Amino acid sequence: MTTMSKTDIQIAICGSAGDGTIAAGDILRNAVAAAGYRVIGFDVYPPEIRGFGKCISRLRISTDQSYSLKRHSDVLLSLDDSQALPHAGEVRDMGAVIFESQPIAPCQEGEHMSARVLPGQIPYAFSMRELSQQATGGGRARNLVALGIIAGLLGLTPDPFRAIIARKFGKQGPEIVARSLAGFQAGFDGATRTFKLDDVFFSPPGQADTAQRVIMLSGNAAVARGCLDAELDTFFGYPITPATSIMERLAAELPKHGRRLLQTEDEIAAIAATIGAGYAGARAATATSGPGLALMSEMLGLATITETPCVVFVSQRGGPSTGMPTKTEQSDLNAALYGSPGDACRIVIAPTNVEGCYRCAGKAFEMAERYQTPVIVLLDLYLSNRYETVTLDESDHAFVLDANKPLPRLEPGETYRRYALTEDGVSPRAVPGDAGHMHVITGLEHNELGRPDDSETMHAAMSRKRHDKLQAALRHPEFAVTRRFGATGRVKVGLLAWGSTFGECLEAMFMAQAQNIPCAALKVVMLSPFPVREVASFMDDCDQVLVPEINHEGQFAQLVQGTLARPVTRLSRVPGSPMPVELILNEIRRLAQG
């Protein structure tokens, strides 16, 4: 083996709630990112804080950025065999299964990981509890011992681990830091003294481009960063999984800039205050999940008819109703597109990766203000909670946010027309405080002045105005509403996808190309207004079109079919987890043969 080879290793850590599984995953991904590797990671955890729920932290570490997790992990570390047993099978041939050699309680025959390691997998039994006891005087540092084992076994340099452990536990005082470092060291020493894996090891990462900074962010952290870079003034929110961490981050950051965040009494109040702030001229946003979006739907219609800018981040989870709060799904597309009475048009955009979360967050404010409309940014739990290393170009001032048209100069006695019918449908917008432009906005259908008017001609004119002005969003500056990957020209199979599932589609497409299947993939970022031209021209190039998505009804497939009146092949699954890449690949192969 040479150092020129590229790293692509996936590690899974599995335990019970309370074992420190997620914390160990967090330290590991930060340490390898600090060492210069590219990372994509996703944690699965139960809705309960304590108890016996399963926690898995999966992490794919590579030299070049990857787009999804792999089906097979190279290493599985079990902190609790009762949870990890079903996952032994996800470790590839010649991969490592690391487990506790001395469980705290006697276990039934066949209930110990040693009984489940498959032929071809390499078992590593460590007495993590004993190592923790010896090094720290207690068993609580087991997860750090485990980290040390991973680092030692795979040849990772320990320094970044030490720095991150010191930072993570710094708040709890020097004693805890020392104990945690001792636990890590015990695991590291134990693993360096054992035999190494043949083909799972880390090659030195490439040198980072110095003009750009590589940082690791979760999707929600990227959204919060996008909000801050777009100079968000006010945020109103109500806690709900998996959107809460957007609010938590902004709660800490906004006040540093003299800006404001309010936790409201419910989601209705959150969107109401967001619209109120938008009306008053502030840049305003809220974040929620499907159940909150349902509560917000009446208010979103108010934002549409009053043409008030506001941004709503919606991180989808399993539904309907309370559904599966800690499982991912893409089943709120219809609610995002249509969830409001009346012809309540709005802009809906959906990023496909963590970097996209940052871009879409900032662009959402540009669009909300330029087109005077609500904008929904549709995420999902998999995207909100997954970690990726992203490259942020720090030099550029990312977003252009002075979209307001100049207010007309009013002649004496002239009344300001808030909803003046203009060529592009966007009217110059005055806000409270602007001298002489007093006006009333209303959820009633209104005339150009904003006064109630339910005449046939006015309702038709205003409906047209509200819809037509959004078409310009399809040509919004520096925003790709769709993007094509893979082969150019005619292909056998075209993948049409949106949101987080696009990463799996891309991986599947690359695998299919490696098998000489001509294929391409189109990611659709703007879902409303629908990019009819781009999607139609992509479909023109495809013999077969496959639409993979994580919902039962095939909501995006229905949107495509309904809008373009062309058939597509659906791949709709609701596993509560990301779409398996192999499943998409199998469909591509089936369609290519057909």
Angle, helix 142-154 to helix 174-192, in steps of 10 degrees = 40
CA pair distance 19, 499, nearest whole angstrom:
32
Residue 441 makes contact with another protein by CB under 8 A: yes
Minimum CB distance to another protein, residue 294 (Å): 15
Residue 276 makes contact with another protein by CB under 8 A: yes
Among 18, 53, 281, 428, binds another protein (CB under 8 A): 281
Of 353, 346, 351, 352, whose CA–CA distance to 363 is shortest?
351
Residue 375 makes contact with another protein by CB under 8 A: no
Residue 284 makes contact with another protein by CB under 8 A: yes
CA pair distance 399, 479, nearest whole angstrom:
11
Of 450 and 529, the one with the shorter C-beta distance to another protein is: 450
Residue 527 makes contact with another protein by CB under 8 A: no
Among 163, 178, 440, 460, binds another protein (CB under 8 A): 440
Conformational region of residue 344, where left means phi above 0, alpha means psi within -120 to 50, and beta covers everything else: beta
Minimum CB distance to another protein, residue 395 (Å): 19
- Pattern 472-501, another protein, x by CB under 8 A: ------------------------------
Among 145, 164, 186, 275, binds another protein (CB under 8 A): 275
Residue 455 makes contact with another protein by CB under 8 A: no
Minimum CB distance to another protein, residue 341 (Å): 11
- Pattern 209-238, another protein, x by CB under 8 A: ------------------------xx-x--
Lookup: tokens for 132: 């923790």
- Pattern 301-320, another protein, x by CB under 8 A: -x---x--------------
Q: Is the dihedral of CA 358, 367, 406, 449 positive or negative?
A: negative
Torsion of CA 420, 423, 429, 430, to 10 degrees: -50
Residue 427 makes contact with another protein by CB under 8 A: no
CA pair distance 197, 386, nearest whole angstrom:
28
Residue 34 makes contact with another protein by CB under 8 A: no
CB atoms inside a 10 Å sphere around CB 457: 9
Of 181 and 271, the one with the shorter C-beta distance to another protein is: 271
Query: How do strand 73-78 and strand 8-16 relate by DSSP bridges?
Result: parallel
Is-contact 88 116, C-beta < 8 A? yes
Residue 287 makes contact with another protein by CB under 8 A: no
Of 66 and 306, the one with the shorter C-beta distance to another protein is: 306
Q: Which residue has the tokens 């002005």?
A: 469
Binding part of the chain for another protein, among 209-217, 262-270, 458-466, 503-511 by CB under 8 A, reads 262-270
Of 309 and 554, the one with the shorter C-beta distance to another protein is: 309
Binding part of the chain for another protein, among 93-101, 299-307, 487-495, 562-570 by CB under 8 A, reads 299-307
Residue 516: phi, psi to the nearest 5? Answer: 65, 30
Is residue 123 exposed (0-12), middle (13-18) or buried (19+ Cβ within 10 Å)? middle
Minimum CB distance to another protein, residue 420 (Å): 17
Return the CA Rg of the chain: 26
Binding part of the chain for another protein, among 124-132, 211-219, 265-273, 496-504 by CB under 8 A, reads 265-273
Is-contact 434 407, C-beta < 8 A? yes
CA pair distance 345, 528, nearest whole angstrom:
8
Residue 170 makes contact with another protein by CB under 8 A: no
Among 4, 49, 435, 514, binds another protein (CB under 8 A): 435
Binding part of the chain for another protein, among 156-164, 331-339, 357-365, 434-442 by CB under 8 A, reads 434-442
CA pair distance 443, 344, nearest whole angstrom:
12
Is residue 89 exposed (0-12), middle (13-18) or buried (19+ Cβ within 10 Å)? exposed
CA pair distance 30, 383, nearest whole angstrom:
18
Binding part of the chain for another protein, among 270-278, 375-383, 544-552, 585-593 by CB under 8 A, reads 270-278
CA pair distance 37, 414, nearest whole angstrom:
63
CA pair distance 98, 131, nearest whole angstrom:
14
Residue 255 makes contact with another protein by CB under 8 A: yes
Residue 444 makes contact with another protein by CB under 8 A: yes
Among 86, 239, 342, 452, binds another protein (CB under 8 A): 452
Buried b (16+ CB within 10 A) or exposed e, 296-323: bbbbbbbbbbbbbbbbbbbbbbbbeeeb
Of 93 and 434, the one with the shorter C-beta distance to another protein is: 434
Contacts with another protein, residue ranges (CB under 8 A): 233-234, 236, 252, 255-256, 258-260, 262, 264-266, 268-270, 272-282, 284, 298-299, 302, 306, 432-444, 451-452
